[in-house]
């Protein structure tokens, strides 16, 4: 049984884990760094798996985040296809599958999440798949090339993106089934969700809301029928499900770290053990953008949290993490981008022109701006991020009441004004 | 293969062989050139691959409207020669491209 020691060990070689290792070097950290990943591939970008990679426009090498040589040049030990099975907090050691032990001074847990399985029988049937890894995407692409009929279970980003690709690129007959009355119910506002539903329907996708699924039925081991809650049956060749994820908290939980949906961290992203951090999809943190703790699944969250923890470890300074959360989804020619955390809003205002298919919905709570969704309006989105990144007391009063002047209101202009307010504030 | 030179604020530089058809952002990120983040993967969405183009000088004028607007929201000051490097695709005519990375990307 071998035993090695690294100054920093990062568990997880996804966007967050790999970014954290590289950012440690950017911050001047000179100690030893190891990154453990349980997939065989070197760290890669996941968003294209349901977009350009699924369509076949991008190849596997386009997904690679950094060439293998980068890790060697930066003296980052990248140890792939290796599972960490136990964490001993008292002795600051990890146990690997196979029995080897790894000692650390600082540990960063970036274990991501796995696809939430369907809660009924039939998941093992041939033709039923989730989407998380390169392998999943390669298999799904092959399925879609052959399939006539596809049923997508779940109306979140993944489901909507796969449905759009299946219908518009592979020409499949697609039904998208969502149990709740609204698409994207976790991140989307009603106005943008309604627009997205109309857009999906315009692509020829049959969008069924308020429609739970009861089960799947196969023929000769292959999926053949999706049984809906009301007893209706949909014949299909392929079932893709995107009903959320399960965060990778097992290791932390069995080591006695506090877990609340994700691994619970404080404002600095440290767990209840000050030398153990958690970042990305697996971490629940108190955000300044909402009440309580949140666990976010996004590129922005993974990279910003990775950089934040790298800085804290490299400099020894523990600062609160305050980055503005943002998300995006591409569905055929449509792009929706969210800035801020809008859950719990009590008012929405649409700015821009919905008829043109380009608009932004802003969400408020007690007159306070929470964030918003931009549909085909990237510049609005960036402006909104810029605004949310500044002190609300600077501009909050200038935003209300907005409803009466929503049509003429320009987010970009407002962002510029906020910028100059900020500059004058600094001078004062 | 066309070469790109990345000059950094600390006075160091990286000279990198780029593949034809690959963006200046992706070239930097895959080769581990510091100072370029490319958070969104080249989707013209995050403004974290901001560069100042030093050579050739006419490249700055090829900004699209979206790119132009987005540069206004980059972390470092926008200048006349600012570009988002995910929007500069390398090819032989661009051999010898020189860009400067800004102080900050986020």
Closest CA–CA distance from residue A46 to any residue of chain B (Å): 10
Closest CA–CA distance from residue B54 to any residue of chain A (Å): 24
Q: Is A136 exposed, middle or buried (0-12, 13-18, 19+ CB in 10 A)?
A: middle
Closest CA–CA distance from residue A109 to any residue of chain B (Å): 20
Report chain A residues whose CB lies below 8 A from the CB of B32: 22, 66-67, 69-70, 73-74
The predicted pLDDT at position A428 comes to 47
Name A199's Cβ contacts closer than 8 Å, sequence gap at least 6: A331, A332, A334
pLDDT band at A75 (very low <50, low <70, confident <90, very high): very high
pLDDT band at A376 (very low <50, low <70, confident <90, very high): very high
**Contact flag A45-B41 (C-beta cutoff 8 Å):** yes
**Contact flag B31-A67 (C-beta cutoff 8 Å):** yes
**Contact flag B66-A379 (C-beta cutoff 8 Å):** yes
**pLDDT tens column, A109-146:** 999 999 999 999 888 999 999 999 999 999 999 999 99
**Contact flag B41-A66 (C-beta cutoff 8 Å):** no
Measured between CA atoms, the residue of chain A closest to residue B41 is A45
Torsion sign, CA atoms B82, B84, B87, B90: positive
Helix (H) / strand (E) element for A422: namely helix A411-427
The predicted pLDDT at position A38 comes to 96
**Contact flag B70-A307 (C-beta cutoff 8 Å):** no
Rounded average pLDDT over B28-33: 87
The predicted pLDDT at position A1 comes to 63
Asked if residue B56 has a cis previous peptide bond (ω within 30° of 0), the answer is: yes
In this predicted structure, the answer to whether residue A216 has a pLDDT above a threshold of 90 is yes
Each residue of A146-183: b (16+ CB within 10 Å) or e?
Answer: ebebbbbbbbbbbbbbbbbbbbbbbebbbbbbbbeebb
Top pLDDT among A94 and A407 is at: A94
DSSP A64: B
Q: Chain B within 8 Å of A304 (Cβ-Cβ)?
A: yes
pLDDT band at A354 (very low <50, low <70, confident <90, very high): confident
**pLDDT tens column, A40-71:** 999 999 999 999 999 999 888 889 998 898 89
Chains A, B: CB pairs < 8 Å: 56
Rounded average pLDDT over B30-53: 88
- What is the Cα B98 distance to its own chain's centre? 9
The predicted pLDDT at position A357 comes to 86
In this predicted structure, the answer to whether residue A296 has a pLDDT above a threshold of 50 is yes
Which of B11, B17, B41, B45 lies closest to B29, judged by CA? B41
pLDDT band at A427 (very low <50, low <70, confident <90, very high): low
Report chain B residues whose CB lies below 8 A from the CB of A45: 41
Q: Is B58 exposed, middle or buried (0-12, 13-18, 19+ CB in 10 A)?
A: exposed
**pLDDT tens column, A154-197:** 999 999 999 999 999 999 999 999 999 999 998 899 999 999 99
Segments in A212-315 forming alpha helices (H): 250-254, 299-315
DSSP A348: E
Report chain B residues whose CB lies below 8 A from the CB of A330: 43
| Cα–Cα distance measured from residue A305 to residue A16, given in angstroms and rounded to the nearest whole number | 7
Q: Is A381 exposed, middle or buried (0-12, 13-18, 19+ CB in 10 A)?
A: buried
Rounded average pLDDT over A350-374: 91
Please state, rounded to an integer, the average pLDDT across all residues of chain A: 94
Which of A373, A387, A380 lies closest to A182, judged by CA? A373
In this predicted structure, the answer to whether residue B73 has a pLDDT above a threshold of 80 is no
**Facing A386 at nearest CB: one of B30, B34, B73:** B73
Question: Which residue pairs from A413-422 have beta carbons closer than 8 angstroms and sit at least 24 positions apart in sequence?
Answer: A414/A383, A414/A387, A415/A383, A415/A384, A415/A386, A415/A387, A415/B73, A416/B72, A418/A386, A418/A387, A418/A390, A418/A394, A419/A386, A421/A394, A421/A395, A422/A390, A422/A391, A422/A394
């Amino acid at each position: 049984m071998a035993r090695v020691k690294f100054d920093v060990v990062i568990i997880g070689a996804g966007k967050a884990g790999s970014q954290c290792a590289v950012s440690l070097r950017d911050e001047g950290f000179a100690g030893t760094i190891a990154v453990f990943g349980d997939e065989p591939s070197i760290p890669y970008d996941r968003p294209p798996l349901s977009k350009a990679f699924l369509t076949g426009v991008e190849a596997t090498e386009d997904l690679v985040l950094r060439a293998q040589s980068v890790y060697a040049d930066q003296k980052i030990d990248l140890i792939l296809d290796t599972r960490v099975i136990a964490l001993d907090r008292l002795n600051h050691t990890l146990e690997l599958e196979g029995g080897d032990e790894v000692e650390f001074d600082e540990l960063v847990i970036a274990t991501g999440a796995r696809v939430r399985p369907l809660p009924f029988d039939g998941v093992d049937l041939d033709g039923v798949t989730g989407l998380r890894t390169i392998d999943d995407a390669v298999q799904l692409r092959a399925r879609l090339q052959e399939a006539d009929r596809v049923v997508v279970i779940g109306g979140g980003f993944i489901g909507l993106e796969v449905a759009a690709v299946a219908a518009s690129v592979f020409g499949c007959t697609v039904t998208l089934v969502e149990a709740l009355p609204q698409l994207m119910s976790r991140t989307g506002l009603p106005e943008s969700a309604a627009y997205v539903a109309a857009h999906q329907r315009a692509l020829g996708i049959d969008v069924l809301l308020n429609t739970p699924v009861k089960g799947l039925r196969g023929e000769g081991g292959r999926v053949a029928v999706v049984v809906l809650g009301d007893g209706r049956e949909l014949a299909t060749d392929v079932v893709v499900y995107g009903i959320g994820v399960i965060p990778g908290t097992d290791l932390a939980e069995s080591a006695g770290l506090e877990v609340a949906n994700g691994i619970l961290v404080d404002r600095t992203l440290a767990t209840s053990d000050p030398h153990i951090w958690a970042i990305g999809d697996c971490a629940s943190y108190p955000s300044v953008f909402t009440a309580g703790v949140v666990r976010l699944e996004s590129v922005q969250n993974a990279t910003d949290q990775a950089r934040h923890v790298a800085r804290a470890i490299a400099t020894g300074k523990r600062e609160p993490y305050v980055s503005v959360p943002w998300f995006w989804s591409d569905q055929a020619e449509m792009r929706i981008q969210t800035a801020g955390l809008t859950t719990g809003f009590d008012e929405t205002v649409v700015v821009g022109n919905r008829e043109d298919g380009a608009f932004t919905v802003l969400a408020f709570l007690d007159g306070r701006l929470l964030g918003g969704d931009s549909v085909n309006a990237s510049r609005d989105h960036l402006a909104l991020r810029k605004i949310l990144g500044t002190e609300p007391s600077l501009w909050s009063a200038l935003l209300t009441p907005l409803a009466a002047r929503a049509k003429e209101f320009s987010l970009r202009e407002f962002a510029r004004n906020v910028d100059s307010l900020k500059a004058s504030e600094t001078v004062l | 293969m066309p070469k790109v030179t990345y000059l950094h604020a600390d006075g160091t530089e990286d000279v990198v062989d780029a593949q034809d058809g690959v963006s200046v952002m992706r070239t930097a990120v895959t080769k581990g050139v510091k100072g370029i983040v490319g958070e969104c993967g080249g989707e013209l969405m995050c403004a974290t691959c901001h560069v100042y183009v030093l050579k050739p000088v006419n490249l700055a004028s090829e900004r699209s409207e979206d790119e132009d607007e987005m540069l206004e929201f980059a972390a470092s000051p926008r200048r006349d020669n600012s570009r988002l490097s995910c929007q500069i695709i390398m090819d032989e005519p661009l051999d010898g491209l020189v860009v400067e990375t800004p102080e900050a990307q986020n």
